[in-house]
Structure formats: structure tokens, C-alpha cells
Amino acid sequence: MPSRRATLPREVLLLALPWLAFRELTLAAGICAKWRALVLDSRAFCGNVRIDVMTHWRLWWAAQQLMAGQRDGRPLRLEIVSSAYEPHLESHVFGWMEECLHRIEHLVVSVNSRHLPSLWKSLSSPAPMLKSLHVTLHLDEREGALHRFPVPRELFGFAAGNLQTVHLTNVFLPHCPPASHCECTGEHHHRCLERRGPTAIVPALHNVSALSLTYSPGQWSHLPRNVDLLFPNLVQIELGSNTSVFGRSVLTTRVELKPERRRREPSFLDREDLRVLSRITQLPLDISVISPSEDAVRVLLHGVPGPLHMRLTRNDSDSFRITVVSGSTRARCHFVERVEYYDKCIRGLTQEWRSQVNLLFHDLEFSTSVNSLTIDVSLWSLLAPLLRDSFHDLPVLVVRIDSGRRFGVSWLPEEPLAIPGLQCLIFQAARATATLDISDILFLADRITPKAVALTLDRIALHGFRRKRLRRRFSSVSCSD
């Protein structure tokens, strides 16, 4: 077997074709029992997915291995990756993929958008074993017509009962059933969808619980109005942008953009999208917002019903996560932020960096609707100047004691976090338990508020000899295991 990188799992057959000569693969009708996955790729895309390029003789040898296992029926993970238009995909590979749909558990297709009609045709056979589907379209000059080819109602022969996870990039969902399947028209059409249920739209998506939608900025106007009807069992939804214009998010891109390019950032959402997202945010979903656009942040959070709970937790030394939770529906919105941008903004190196700070830190309407704020102590020094500007009347503050040394910061910050309206202060261990000196608790409390607020210690063990002063400093002291 050709050598593979150490990061690749075992039992993965890797075929990186130097010039997308897929004709050799038609020699095989199945997958060898020795291999659990097949990766088809081209030299032009190898750098993005970090795989090795095989020579032509290795490809020929791998094709012989495929022939040996053509009658095997084990579950399969299939990945087809090609950024350019390649006729061999439609003439050979898609047909072979259709024959194997009944045994595929995980399917990843990343192809040129011109292949979309043929791709939907090849995905019309039943896929009873399919658990996850990833479809990515690489746009070309015809990208404006993609909404004419949404996910078809006949996807996977109306049957994919085990399909749980769907990731779509530049792939559109249908707005409504075809006319032949709908009994009404006009203003009562949405009621018809609610009555008939998701089986009237795309039956294969009925059991999907995790959905990821990624579009270019100009395509968000085609976001469907009936996402909740397409996916009645949806638990988590992820909305993102696949363009480098939104370069601030560490989840969508690693590209750093110059500030002058950001001024030309297009509008992320319009009024029509607001109606769609307002319906999504009313559901008890876990929403990951992967776009730094202030319009997207404002639309989503204004649609999340209060009261709100905000969490600021450290991911690693380079990034942290903002989580906003609805107290009524338990809907969640996640934002991943770069530490570098906030550090430059707070140090005042340039005013341009203020645009990189999440809207949540300078939106007074949002801050007044937050009932509780949780912050890792390792983020205190970084975010204290921003929190002081907006969260004056925050009633509950939770300070998580995490490992600041692991991120190269002092765990005992000097910066004041003045919150005059605070009513309850909670110290919480980030992991199982944490030990704090009483003098450190008093030191931190003095930097938060001069008031005698209620103190709660969550999985915190006390050390020191100033317990009487601790009781005098706070109106009440309680501990929880």
C-alpha cells in the first residue's frame, strides 16, 4: 500500500489523481474489503485537504486492489473532491457512486457547481445506511442559477432513515413542495406545509438533527422560509459564510484581511432573511453563528427570546467562545472570536480593530437583556475594558476559575471589572474542584463591586484565615458541591 501520512486513519484508501483521470476507476465495481474509505482528489485541491499525491503507477495498483473486493458489502465512507469541472465525474464516478449508495455510511461530495444536476440524479437511490451527508459546491460563473437546483424531493429515493447530520455549502433547500404535491396556493400555502408536514417537502431529511448551511453573501436571499418544517427533529443549526470577506471567524477561514477590504463587506442578511431567522430562533435549537457580520449578530440575537445568559469561555491561547443562551427556549448562539483582535483593539493600536469586536460588547440593548454573565478568569484582563462599558446593571456574575497559566496569562487579574448593579457573585471551578485563598476572593470582589452582594462558591475549596472578614464583606455566603 502506498505510504500515507500519520494523521490519516487506518483502513483508508487514498486516491489523489494527478489529472483527474477517473477512467481507471471504472475497472472496479465496489470497494475492497480491506479498505474502509475511498478519497478521490485532484492535484489542484491537495493543498487544501492536506493529503499526499500518488503517482500514476500507484493509482493503477490501487485500482487492482479495488477489483479484488468488488463484491464486498461492508459500510463505506466515500469522499469525492474536485474543485474544477471534470466530465469524468458524470460519465463514470457518479454512476459508480449511485450503485454504492446502499452501503455508504458517510458521504462527502465537493465538486464544481456545474455538476449539480447530475449529482442530484445520482443521489436518487435509497441510502438506508447513510448517517452523514456533506455536499460542497465550488462556484463558477454560473453560480447565480444554483437556486434553480435545490435539494430534490426525491433525494435518496425518499428513504434515508439513519441520516442525522447534513452539511450544505452553496446548496439550496427548497422553499416549498412542487406544485404537483401541494393542494393550495397563495397566502394559505404555509398552512398547507404545516398540515402536510416535512414528508411533503424532502422525506429523506425528516430525521436530521444537526444542520449546517454555508453560503456566499449574495446567496442568503435564497434561504428557505420553512427550515423548521424541512427538519422537524432539528436540534442544532449552524449558519456560516464561506467567503474570505468574513475573515474574522476562526471557524470559517484562516485568511487575514486588510482593514480597507472590510469596508466593502456586503450586507449579510436582508429583511427577508430576518423573517426566516426569526422563526429559527424561536425554536429550542443550538445555533452556531460563524459570521462576524454585525447584521447577522443583531438579527439572530434580537430573535432569541430572553432572558439571556452570556458565557465567555477560553478555547485556547488564540481564541475564545461567546455563548448566548435563551432562558425561556434554551436556544443557543455561539461565536468564536480571535484573542489577537481584541488585544489590539483594547491597546488602541488602531481604531480599525474596533470593527473586529463582536457587536455584543457595545450594544446597550443587548447588555440590558442579559441576566447573568459567565467569564473565565483567564479572559478577565482581555475583556474587562469592554464589559465595563456596557454591563453596568448586570445582576449575576459568574467567574470561572480556569487554568490561566496554560494560556500564558495571570490567573489573578489587576484590571477592575466595575459592575455597580451587581446583586450576586459566583465563583465556579472550571473543572472538578478549585482551591482559592480567601484573600484572593476578597481581592477579586473589590475589583468587581464595592457593594455587599451575595456570594456563592461552586465547587470551591477555601484556604486562609480570614473567614470572618469574608462574611462581613458579603451579604451572604453559600457553598455548593
Q: Chain-centre distance of CA 298, in angstroms?
A: 18
Tell me the Ramachandran region of residue 330: left when phi exceeds 0, alpha when psi lies from -120 to 50, beta otherwise. left
pLDDT digits (tens, 9 = 90+) for 360-404: 887 788 888 899 999 998 888 888 888 887 888 899 999 998 876
Would you list the DSSP string of 280-330?
HHTSS-EEEEE---HHHHHHHHHHS-SSEEEEEEE-SSSEEEEEEEETTT-
What is the bridge-based pairing of β-strands 165-169 and 210-215? parallel
**Coil, strand or helix at 335:** strand
- Sort 277 into a burial class: Cβ within 10 Å, 0-12 / 13-18 / 19+: buried
pLDDT of 20 > 60? The answer is: no
pLDDT of 13 > 60? The answer is: no
Q: Chain-centre distance of CA 88, in angstroms?
A: 33
**pLDDT above 70 as % of the chain:** 54
Q: In whole angstroms, give the CA distance from residue 331 to residue 272.
A: 21
Note the pTM of the prediction, 2 decimals.
0.57
Tell me the Ramachandran region of residue 152: left when phi exceeds 0, alpha when psi lies from -120 to 50, beta otherwise. beta
pLDDT digits (tens, 9 = 90+) for 224-269: 656 666 787 877 777 666 543 222 222 222 222 233 333 223 334 4
Neighbours of 41 (CB within 10 A): 24
- Give the pLDDT of residue 64: 43
Would you list the DSSP string of 123-172?
T-S--TT--EEEEEEE--TTGGGGGGS---TTGGGG--TT--EEEEES-P
Identify whether the C-beta of residue 308 lies closer than 8 Å to the C-beta of residue 333. Answer: no
Which stretches does DSSP call E strand in 318-466? 319-326, 332-338, 370-376, 396-401, 424-429, 434-437, 454-458, 460-463
Query: 48-52, 115-119, 443-447: which has the minimum mean pLDDT?
Result: 48-52
Q: In whole angstroms, give the CA distance from residue 91 to residue 383.
A: 56
Single-letter amino acid code for the residue at 86: E
- Sort 476 into a burial class: Cβ within 10 Å, 0-12 / 13-18 / 19+: exposed
**Coil, strand or helix at 41:** strand
Q: In whole angstroms, give the CA distance from residue 133 to residue 168.
A: 8
pLDDT digits (tens, 9 = 90+) for 22-71: 444 433 334 444 444 455 444 333 322 222 223 333 434 444 444 334 44
Q: In whole angstroms, give the CA distance from residue 185 to residue 192.
A: 9
Domain map of the chain by residue range? 1-175, 209-303, 305-481
